[in-house]
């Protein structure tokens, strides 16, 4: 197993270990929840951007790398929402207050992200760049819509 694959496997395992626990059990302090969700978004963005760069022709298409990235993205899309619990609306975050006042709508946005990144993963499994491009656009739009509604700056 190469170093990148090992890192992904370790990251995947560590992140999966957090899935069953509710946010209140995961984080002793609100700052930890903010760091957790920011870290998950950062890593998700790195892998999502690489897929986007392949889809746009800015990077050479590598089906294996696209699949690895899509697996990470689909996994990470599920994680940050657990870290938006009560009392985690800190001024050091880029999250707008609407996340907490419109929590049902925010959860719907997250469910759309999970669905779209799942479709992106399915497309990556085909190893067909055209299918990846077709799935990337809706996933990117889901990100943009959520950022427009719930992210400041």
Asked if residue 145 is part of any domain, the answer here is yes
Q: How many domains does the chain have?
A: 1
- For tokens 């880029």, the residue is 94
Give me 4's structure tokens.
Answer: 């990148």
Q: Which pLDDT value is given to residue 3?
A: 59
Instruction: Report the CATH number that the domain containing residue 98 is assigned in CATH.
Output: 1.20.120.10
The 10s digit of each residue's pLDDT in 22-61 is 444 578 999 999 999 999 999 999 999 999 999 999 999 9
Query: Could you tell me if 74 and 132 are in contact, meaning their C-beta atoms sit under 8 angstroms apart?
Result: no
- For tokens 């619990």, the residue is 85
Asked if residue 19 is part of any domain, the answer here is no
Q: Is the pLDDT of residue 78 over 70?
A: yes
Strand partners, 95: 151
Asked if residue 23 is part of any domain, the answer here is no
CA 100/CA 120 separation, integer angstroms:
28
| Banded model confidence at residue 21, pLDDT cuts 50, 70, 90 | very low
| Max CA separation in the chain (angstroms) | 45
Q: Which pLDDT value is given to residue 20?
A: 42
Report helix, strand or coil for 1.
coil
- For tokens 């656009």, the residue is 137
Full domain range(s) for residue 103: 3-14+28-84+92-150
> What is the percent of the chain with per-residue pLDDT over 70, rounded to a whole number?
84
Global pTM value: 0.82
Asked if residue 111 is part of any domain, the answer here is yes
Asked if residue 21 is part of any domain, the answer here is no
Q: Is the pLDDT of residue 19 over 60?
A: no
* Sequence-separated (6 or more) residues with CB below 8 Å from residue 77: 44, 110, 113, 114, 117
Q: Is the pLDDT of residue 132 over 50?
A: yes
Asked if residue 22 is part of any domain, the answer here is no
Neighbours of 117 (CB within 10 A): 27
User: Lowest mean pLDDT: which of 8-12, 16-20, 103-107?
Assistant: 16-20
Q: Cβ-count burial of 75 within 10 angstroms (0-12 exposed, 13-18 middle, 19+ buried)?
A: buried
| Banded model confidence at residue 7, pLDDT cuts 50, 70, 90 | low
Q: Which pLDDT value is given to residue 102?
A: 93
CA 112/CA 143 separation, integer angstroms:
9
Asked if residue 69 is part of any domain, the answer here is yes
Question: 102, 109, 101: which is closest to 143 by C-alpha?
Answer: 109
| Banded model confidence at residue 2, pLDDT cuts 50, 70, 90 | low
Q: Is the pLDDT of residue 138 over 70?
A: yes
What residue spans of 56-128 are helical by DSSP H? 63-76, 98-101, 103-126
> What is the percent of the chain with per-residue pLDDT over 90, rounded to a whole number?
73
């Amino acid at each position: 197993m190469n170093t990148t694959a090992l890192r992904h496997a370790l990251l995947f395992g560590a992140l999966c270990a957090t899935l069953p626990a509710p946010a209140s059990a995961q984080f002793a302090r609100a700052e930890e929840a903010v760091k957790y969700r920011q870290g998950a978004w950062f890593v998700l963005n790195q892998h999502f951007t690489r897929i986007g760069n392949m889809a746009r022709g800015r990077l050479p298409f590598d089906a294996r790398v696209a699949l690895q990235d899509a697996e990470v993205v689909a996994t990470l899309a599920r994680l940050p929402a657990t870290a938006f619990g009560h009392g985690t609306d800190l001024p050091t975050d880029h999250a707008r207050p609407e996340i907490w006042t419109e929590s049902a709508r925010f959860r719907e946005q997250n469910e759309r992200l999970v669905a779209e990144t799942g479709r992106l993963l399915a497309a990556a499994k085909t190893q067909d760049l055209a299918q990846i491009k077709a799935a990337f656009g809706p996933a990117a739009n889901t990100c943009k819509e959520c950022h427009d509604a719930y992210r400041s700056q």
